[in-house]
A and B are shown apart, each in its own frame.
Chain A
């Protein structure tokens, strides 16, 4: 294969070409995964046919509320994000790290390595692509590498989708993480619904370009591109929320003892739902176990949440026992400490934690309240009695 010049000029695809895209990816050995409706929510699962997408559906999100509604068109990607995120495929919630058998010399590792799954993600949003890149920094860029994650990640093919609408709990525009996708995708699509139903497609990698070449396409017109741009710009204007990032880390570090933490703890159930739906929450626990005979031991890695008491348990007990301390740990880590640890804010503005919080606690509102109270605009919210 000779050097391939990336073609900067976008293509236009008809709707039928998307099925061909799926077919070509599957023919290349990828397991295609994409959004579909299950139990009243849009989740990510293996996708064989375009008809399995949530066609003509949209999601309506608010703090503590999520429901699907019919659109008045047949949009394939006319919604934002649901309770799933792609991390469940790249870093599965429960993963076997190794298995060992008892021997004369203590134990030996049983080698049963499987080849990593080759996923093609269909419909990765701008915020989600940023979230994947955050996980890359944590699992692959430190002194040690999560080899299983790395193998899944290197095999990954990303078909991103620019958002044409924004949800009430979305705030990616204020974080610069969307709604238009940034670098890192293989193919990026923008769905155009005015006039003929079509997609503007662009390759972001050599293999993305090669795949695009193999499916039916024409060159996108200037009008196609202008409409795509306008669609994304409109989504940016319609964000339901925003997060002010200027001086955010310092603001939070200054206010470790602010009464606001006590106030939010009155509502927080410490259920950890926010950490489960968050596309960047990366914490995991390591669990060791044996079979009943005691001859075979396994080490498992399981999603963990900083909202549990066990999370901070040391010889003298849990470090963070109060709900206040655990909520504060989560928010301060996400918005402040993450910047020191990994060089970026740990939030991508997807709004999942707001939508899926059973009591509708809003990370943007909490950060804004600290800012407002510090500048004297509001009185601290009195703690409930």
Chain B
């Protein structure tokens, strides 16, 4: 679009056919058609959050996924939403999604029972770059349901534990009742090679643990900032403060990754909904390295 194209004889020649039209890649499946999956299991995590295990109907198998990727989940006739994968990347056949019932589709999902069939498209998006972080201290900062897209990373780290230095999980929830994956957290905390710190905004019942937002755990967490990489997921405001607290400890933006939430309709970088400045979150994200989005992330209403 740079050259001024009005000199007439040049304009008159033209090319045989639009170059874009000639070399378009063709997907073998229709990008907007989900494949069918049966609910093989359902686990209530807390009051409004649940995990479903999905098994493909028929001969089809789930594609392998990387920690941090998401699927579009479709409820027959109700709608479709992006939900991150919360299971173990070493077991792609056990597809797990943890969802909080907040909207029309997720409330319909909350009513799913074993044997029900839903639609799946994916996996989509970028992942936590765990292979590239070998030899580092890994600091995982999760807020609320933000733990769900980080659980596959934890599974991976536990499975490849010798490849990393310290592995630290800092997890915050609103109340003790809101904590996800409680028995798993307790199992991880019992391990000598994992550092697990949990905090709640508001203590209820017999809670005797930390109280305060998750970012308050960062200053005293046991990691070596110069050799640390941080993986963050939670509400945008929490991620902003987490980035600040990490930077104060000396973990800079090039060693900080976050998973962003945006409205998504297509999952294939066509519908325009999930933009963040120049980034198309379903394609360039949801996992971004902080320095790549610094100029746009956390600025009001971008």
Contact = CB atoms under 8 A, between A and B. Distances in A.
B106 to A, nearest CB: 8
Chain B interface mostly: loop
Contact of B57 (A106, A225, A325): A106
Nearest to B74: A288
A286 B265 contact: yes
Nearest to B105: A288
Interface residues on B, range: 35 or more
A304 interface: yes
Interface string B1-42: 111111111011111111011011111001111001010000
B273 interface: yes
A202 B266 CA distance: 40
A5 to B, nearest CB: 12
Contacts, number: 230
A140 interface: yes
Interface in A1-18: 6, 8, 10
A81 interface: no
B78 interface: yes
Nearest to B280: A341
Contact of A229 (B4, B8, B103, B301): B8
Given A176-B2, A337-B278, A133 B20 contact: yes
B132 interface: no
Interface string A301-316: 1001010000111111
A290 interface: yes
Interface string B75-101: 011111000000000000000000010
A248 interface: no
Interface centre among A225, A297, A328 (most CB of B within 10 A): A297
B24 A179 contact: no
Interface residues of A, number: 97
A319 B17 contact: no
B33 to A, nearest CB: 6
B52 interface: no
Given A145-B25, A228-B8, A256-B302, A175 B1 contact: yes
B30 A205 contact: no
Interface in B220-270: 235-236, 261-263, 265-266, 268-270
Contacts of B261: 314-316
A299 B32 contact: yes
A284 B38 CA distance: 29
A257 B271 contact: no
Given A109-B33, A180-B6, A284 B11 contact: no
A141 B20 contact: yes
B24 A145 contact: yes
B111 interface: no
Contacts of B21: 136, 140, 150, 153-154
Interface string B98-118: 001011000000000000111
A15 B100 CA distance: 66
A286 B12 contact: no
Given A109-B33, A176-B1, A290-B76, A8 B12 contact: yes
Interface in A316-347: 316, 319-322, 324-325, 328-329, 332-333, 336-337, 339-341, 344-345
Contacts of B36: 105-107
A288 B11 contact: no
A133 B18 CA distance: 8
A137 interface: yes
Contacts of A287: 79
A286 B271 contact: yes
Nearest to A104: B117
A6 B263 contact: no
10 cross-chain pairs, A with B, having the tightest CB-CB distances, nearest first: A106-B117, A204-B14, A283-B272, A290-B77, A340-B278, A325-B301, A180-B6, A144-B268, A136-B20, A229-B8
8 contacts: A106-B118, A145-B24, A145-B26, A188-B11, A188-B12, A203-B14, A325-B300, A339-B278
